[in-house]
A and B are shown apart, each in its own frame.
Chain A
Amino acid sequence: MKEHRVAIRPPLERAGDTRGESRRLMDRWWTELDAAAEEDSLVANVFVMGSLAEILNTFDIPMSFPEIASLQTAVKGKAMDYLLAAEDAGYSPDICGYVKVDVGLHLTGRQHPLGRYPKPGMVVATNMCNTYIKWSEIWERQYECPVFVLDLPGWRGTGFAYDMGSETFKNDVKFVEGQLRELIALCEEVTGKTFDIDKLREILDNVNRMSELYRAILATNKHRPAPFNALTEGINYMGIANILRGREDGVRFMETALAELDERIDKGVGAVSPEQFRLLLVGTACYTNFRDFVGLFEQWNGVFVASEYMSYAGGGIDRGVHYDLSRPVESLAEQILITAQPSMSGIFFSHEWQANVVRDYAIDGIAYHGVKSCRTTSAGLPDAREWLMRNEDIPGLFIQSDLVDSRLWAEAQLKNRVDAFFEALQSRRVQVGA
């Protein structure tokens, strides 16, 4: 009989709580989407960067996150079917993989591996990624649904220390607030409901609490050994932070997650055992080969203690959201700007953010994963890597594949680079120790 070993760890009372809860909540989300598809009721398509869930939830408009749905087809091993359907319809291989999976889903009868996929009754996008706008136009043409694009001004100064008391910032807030009021009017029109400012206050309060908990979750990984893998488990926290943003059950989920992580810290249980290398992931994972991707690093007992994805795709929740409930709409506009502008300037300033994370989380090396079909998250990665190596002496690995397109996954080449990176980290450690 083949010999199997299991990791011997102290018993954990809360083991599996978060995973179970995130599964239950995700299943429930899909049940709602499936029901909406069946009944042809109103669903809004929104994006992870700037979902404006606060306003949509005030009107009880169910939200579909096409980026998350596309990602899930990849994890389920089905993304290629949809990608090819989109390419057959004339979409180029260079276009964002998430878009093509979504287009393929719509062209092939909206059957997602996790349930029926509703058609959008409205779309809320931002200009945080150019693709969002073009993607929204596809649905607009296909379903003649209203599309609302929030036009967010990027920061116009040099460097990234901006002044919230400045005229520029105040003008930006007015500009965004005006647009939020337009969205409120659109929601009133689509649902036939009147805007309830107290309900918005409640939702904003929930986001404040969620944000605090999310930040506490991230901070647990400053601990050694790090209690969670910011890639595998981090994606669950981020998924729930998006789909349940501003909802009471979202807050409870974050509490559950934090309690489980605190227990792991108390008992000294790490995400990998023994923890050898603490890593930061910049970019996203390859979801078609998610396990293999993680395995490349875990083989060397490397753990992602932080991930940039948990930051920018979490709708800014990691940066600390503090809504002022006495002036909800204005405060929403302010906070959107505060959290969005750093992400929008990410290409130019992400190296500074990375340097801070490296210090705060005692990181040994950074893995940069360039996504072939996404320029928004991939441009500038080699430059950030070089800057950190030269200025902060932080070893960096650069690899490339895709989010959902398995044709761009080359296991042998990836493994070669990852192995060489760890070999270099190992010899560096010996040198430092010597």
Chain B
Amino acid sequence: MLVAGVDVGSTQTKAVIMSDRHEMLGHGLCPTGAKLDEAGQTAFNLALAETPYSETNVAFVVGTGYGRFRIQFGDAQVTEISCHGRGAVHLFPNTRSVLDIGGQDTKAIKVGTDGQVIDFNMNDKCAAGTGRFLGAASDALEMPLGELGPLAQTAKNPVKMTTTCTVFAESEILGWLAKGRRIEDVVMGVHVAIASRSMSLLRRAGIEPEVTFTGGVTRNSAMVELISEMAGVQVNTSEESHYCGAIGAALYALDQVRTGAFAERGAPA
């Protein structure tokens, strides 16, 4: 029997197909764009394509992320706050604090032993200091997102960014470059600004080890290093961290099927 979790985030959509023994059988990733329902379907299809099964074998689909209500083929919705909490504890069972830096918001989540949310703190409505800020830096510097982290790690004397506002990011970055500061120092300044803001949310929720870092920004090595340094503990990340929300959603889907809270819709795999 299979279940799926589909996380339609503000920038990327992620999907996973999971077996009833918690095996991750397929992953799908695509940009969200303007058509949220299509993005959900595309990521789901990509994940399914990594398995030998078809859609009819998927018993239950839980949608999460901002576009969760737009997933036409979804059976239920759970917020990404609950999903990241659950997913993080599944990936690292000793997790008690979760930090997720997403495209438009950052969440610090305190979780119990089963991944249940005890408390959470999020940034304000404005996207200042979220993953979008890195996107703005990559645009301003005309540099692919993936190159920012390694470049930042070569910095010797990072600049102190005065803003985490995504709108003003570009002018401040260009301002530092115009003053002759080295590009790696400016990029590291951007990373420090985001990490500091995220840390204040995490501190407010309470830093209780183990700390698990989730979301797309976990692929940025400089950010992982910075967050670990600021938290005073090595944060957990893995290849799967990017899919943490979708994994949590799939686990909730599995609960539904197991407890029979909802009728299964697919044929057994």
Instruction: Judge: A and B partners, yes or no.
Output: yes
Which of A's residues lie within 8 Å of B, judged by CB? 382, 386, 389, 395-396, 398, 400, 408, 410, 412-413, 416-417, 419-420, 423-424, 427-428, 431
Indicate whether A408 sits within 8 Å of B78 (C-beta atoms), given known contacts A423-B117, A424-B117, A427-B116: no
Which of B's residues lie within 8 Å of A, judged by CB? 66, 78-82, 105, 112, 114, 116-122, 124-125, 204
Name the residue of chain A whose CB is nearest to the CB of B107. Answer: A420
How many angstroms between the C-alpha atoms of A35 and B175 in the bound complex?
Answer: 60
B124 touches A424 (CB 8 A): no
Indicate whether A382 sits within 8 Å of B79 (C-beta atoms), given known contacts A410-B125, A417-B122, A424-B116: no
9 A-B pairs with C-beta separation under 8 A: A410-B125, A413-B105, A413-B125, A416-B66, A420-B81, A423-B117, A424-B119, A427-B82, A428-B116
How many angstroms between the C-alpha atoms of A382 and B204 in the bound complex?
Answer: 9
Indicate whether A395 sits within 8 Å of B119 (C-beta atoms), given known contacts A408-B125, A431-B112: yes
B120 touches A412 (CB 8 A): no
Chain B hits for A386, CB < 8 A: 204
Name the residue of chain A whose CB is nearest to the CB of B123. Answer: A413
Chain B hits for A398, CB < 8 A: 121
Tell me which of B78, B112, B125 has the highest count of chain A C-beta atoms within 10 A of its own C-beta. Answer: B125
Indicate whether A420 sits within 8 Å of B105 (C-beta atoms), given known contacts A386-B204, A400-B125: no
B117 touches A420 (CB 8 A): yes
Tell me the total A-B contact number using a CB cutoff of 8 A.
45
Chain A hits for B66, CB < 8 A: 412, 416
How many angstroms between the C-alpha atoms of A132 and B154 in the bound complex?
Answer: 55
Chain A hits for B118, CB < 8 A: 424, 428
Tell me which of A410, A420, A428, A431 has the highest count of chain B C-beta atoms within 10 A of its own C-beta. Answer: A420
Smallest CB separation, B211 vs chain A (Å): 19
Smallest CB separation, A40 vs chain B (Å): 44
Chain B hits for A423, CB < 8 A: 78-79, 81-82, 117
How many angstroms between the C-alpha atoms of A395 and B205 in the bound complex?
Answer: 12
Name the residue of chain B whose CB is nearest to the CB of A434. Answer: B114
Smallest CB separation, A217 vs chain B (Å): 33
A431 touches B122 (CB 8 A): no
B119 touches A389 (CB 8 A): yes
How many angstroms between the C-alpha atoms of A427 and B78 in the bound complex?
Answer: 12
Chain A hits for B120, CB < 8 A: 420, 424
A416 touches B81 (CB 8 A): yes
How many angstroms between the C-alpha atoms of A419 and B80 in the bound complex?
Answer: 10
How many angstroms between the C-alpha atoms of A85 and B59 in the bound complex?
Answer: 55
How many angstroms between the C-alpha atoms of A423 and B114 in the bound complex?
Answer: 14
Chain B hits for A389, CB < 8 A: 119
